């Protein structure tokens, strides 16, 4: 039980091979969002459909993980977004490319000094959204 009624202390989810959305004009990878929980996600094997990676990078690779603290915006990278908005989604698709997990907690997570200084840390993670076109007008427009 979390600190407030109706909130969980922790959730655990597995993303196994599965049939993706079957409705026309749907967006199959996770959409851009923020969470009221801290989200830790890892890839066990294969590929993750929302992080194909920019040219020259491996994307979200097996053994890799991401941590998005409470209210940190995140979503598919530019390559995944571009590929999926062009997909007509006119028939069911089975995703069999990998196995991922997600752990969410209403508690804040703190990175260790080792994690902060690790040589495998992706220091330009936010650049995965470089190249995304604005699709919603601002108030000034």
Does the pLDDT of residue 5 top 90, yes or no? no
At residue 129, the pLDDT reads: 78
Tens-place pLDDT, residues 55-112: 555 567 888 888 888 888 888 888 778 877 787 777 777 778 789 999 999 888 888 9
Instruction: From 18, 26, 129, 23, select the one nearest 85 (Cα to Cα).
Output: 26
Find all residues with CB under 8 Å of 38, minimum gap 6, and list them.
Answer: 67, 68, 69, 70, 104, 105, 106, 107, 108, 109
CA distance 19 to 96: 9
For tokens 């959730």, name the residue: 11
Tens-place pLDDT, residues 11-28: 999 988 888 766 776 666
Does the pLDDT of residue 126 top 60, yes or no? yes
Backbone angles phi, psi at 82, to 5 degrees: -60, -45
Tens-place pLDDT, residues 30-63: 777 788 888 999 999 988 766 766 555 556 788 8
SS3 per residue for 103-123: EEECCCCCCCHHHHHCCCCCC
């Amino acid at each position: 039980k979390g600190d407030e009624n109706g909130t969980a202390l922790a959730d655990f989810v597995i993303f196994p091979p599965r049939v993706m959305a079957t409705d026309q004009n749907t967006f199959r990878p996770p959409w851009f969002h923020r969470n009221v929980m801290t989200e830790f996600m890892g890839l066990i094997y294969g590929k993750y459909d929302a992080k194909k990676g920019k040219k020259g990078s491996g994307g979200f690779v097996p053994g890799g993980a991401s941590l998005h603290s409470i209210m940190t915006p995140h979503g598919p990278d530019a390559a995944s977004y571009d590929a999926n908005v062009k997909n007509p989604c006119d028939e069911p698709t089975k995703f069999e490319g990998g196995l991922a997990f997600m752990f969410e907690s209403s508690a804040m997570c703190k990175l260790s000094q080792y994690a902060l200084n690790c040589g495998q840390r992706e220091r330009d993670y936010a650049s995965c959204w470089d190249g995304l076109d604005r699709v919603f007008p601002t108030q000034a427009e």
